[in-house]
Amino acid sequence: MAKKEMGSTSMLVLALLKEKEMYGYQIIEELDRRSEHVFQMKEGTLYPVLHGLEKDRLIAAREAETVKGRVRRYYAVTEKGLRVLEEKKKEWNTFSKAVTAILAGA
Amino acid sequence: MSEKDWLDTATKKIRFRPDRKAVRRELEAHLEDMREASGLEEDAALRTMGDPEAVAEELGRVHKPWLGYLWRASQAALAGAAVLYCVMLGMLAVRPGYSYRVLPGMGLYNYLQTDVDMLDPACVIEARELPPGAAFETGGYTIRPERTVLRQVSGTDGPQWNLYIELDITLSRWEEPLDYWFALSGVRTGAGTPCGMHRMSACWGFWQKCGLEFEGLPEDAEWVELDFGYGQLRRTLHIDLTEEAEA
């Protein structure tokens, strides 16, 4: 995934993973909780995004087995991922301010 | 649609098998997590996961097969280089005394004793260094006698004369299969009596040293001839027992 093509889903995922490493199901739950049910992401959307970010080395994965013997993949942000996240945040803030300014006059 | 069908469909466009298995495992764990946390039935859980065909499209786009195969190829190349390095190291490790070496085709290290000096000096009554003899070629190999020692040792049946020969063997061209090229096809002594061969270390590889020792040489023998190889490959190494090596 090229930087320019990176969508808002990727940005949200990176922002969540910046705090702590998480596995797929946890990411969906956390997004849902924090956005107060606005972002209810489908698994079909999340995993291609996660794997794309991993391929671009913005996040890294490790596998760990749960006590029940379930193998989970935990994702964490890389240095490169943190840099991209910062850029994306700046872009988003500019965009958001612009939209707010226009809507304020409507 | 069963869980198995959903997972099969969702991962069907990931061409690289190890990737496909890993993603399938991840999605399977996700489903289990979800059902455990929400208490949803299989059908409802699968609906939450989304349309497997659409998931397959997206995953197929991210997991390009050539990347996986390229990774595999680079790993194989690296492994090949490591093996080659070990083989070379094994060859270089060969030196007089106890040494380890690689046996091509067997992948094992062999324990060899190739040093004339390993014999307890107390058993040696007399020792004499001889001119090692001329190098010769056979079957693509160059065989260079490096050291030849004639010595009288105290054996269980009384004193006897032994001959020790240390050979350096180099593969210069690949001409004949290794099988039997190096077999000693004959040993003759100047006194007309063949002597018994006491020890011959295995001689394989592209470069190595090899120690041969012959026991019970006739006392009046003036020379020893060793024939290496058979037929057209046969070469004779002549060792004069009456000469002394240059100091």
pLDDT at A4: 42
Q: What is the pLDDT of residues A17-57, one digit of tens each?
A: 999 999 999 999 999 999 888 888 888 889 999 999 999 99
CB nearest to A48's CB, from B37, B49, B59: B59
Tell me, yes or no, if B51 comes closer than 8 A to chain A by beta carbon.
yes
pLDDT at B114: 41
- For chain A, give the secondary structure using H, E and C: CCHHHCCHHHHHHHHHHHHCCEEHHHHHHHHHHHCCCCCCCCHHHHHHHHHHHHHCCCEEEEEEECCCCCEEEEEEECHHHHHHHHHHHHHHHHHHHHHHHHHHCC
pLDDT at B195: 54
Q: Domain B112-246 falls in which CATH fold?
A: Immunoglobulin-like (2.60.40)
The candidate with the shortest Cα–Cα distance to B116, out of B202, B198, B211, is B211
Would you list the domain boundaries of chain B?
3-63, 68-102, 112-246
Tell me, yes or no, if B120 comes closer than 8 A to chain A by beta carbon.
no
Instruction: Mark out the alpha helices in chain B (DSSP H runs).
Output: 3-11, 17-38, 42-49, 52-62, 65-92
Query: Distance, in angstroms, between A104 CA and closest chain B CA?
Result: 37
Task: Report angle CA B216, B220, B223 to the nearest 5 degrees.
Answer: 80
Of the two residues A66 and B80, the one the predictor is more confident about is B80
pLDDT at A51: 93
Tell me, yes or no, if A52 comes closer than 8 A to chain B by beta carbon.
yes
**Chosen from B40, B59, B62, B70 to mutate, greatest number of chain A CBs within 10 A:** B62
Tell me, yes or no, if A70 comes closer than 8 A to chain B by beta carbon.
yes
Q: What gap in Å lies between CA A29 and CA A40, rounded to an integer?
A: 8
Query: Tens-of-pLDDT digits for all 247 residues of chain B?
Result: 888 999 999 999 888 888 899 999 999 999 888 888 888 888 888 888 888 999 899 898 888 777 777 888 888 999 998 888 777 665 554 443 333 333 332 322 333 344 455 667 777 888 888 988 888 887 667 788 888 888 888 877 788 888 888 777 766 655 544 444 455 566 677 776 555 554 444 444 445 666 677 777 877 888 888 877 767 778 888 888 888 776 6
Question: Reduced to 3 states, what is the DSSP secondary structure of residue B162?
Answer: strand
What residues of chain A lie within 8 A of the CB of B58, using their CB? 44-45, 47-48
Phi and psi at residue B86, to the nearest 5°: -65, -40
Q: CB of A48 within 8 A of CB of B49?
A: no
pLDDT at A9: 87
Neighbours of B228 (CB within 10 A): 22
Interface predicted TM-score of the whole assembly (ipTM), two decimals: 0.84
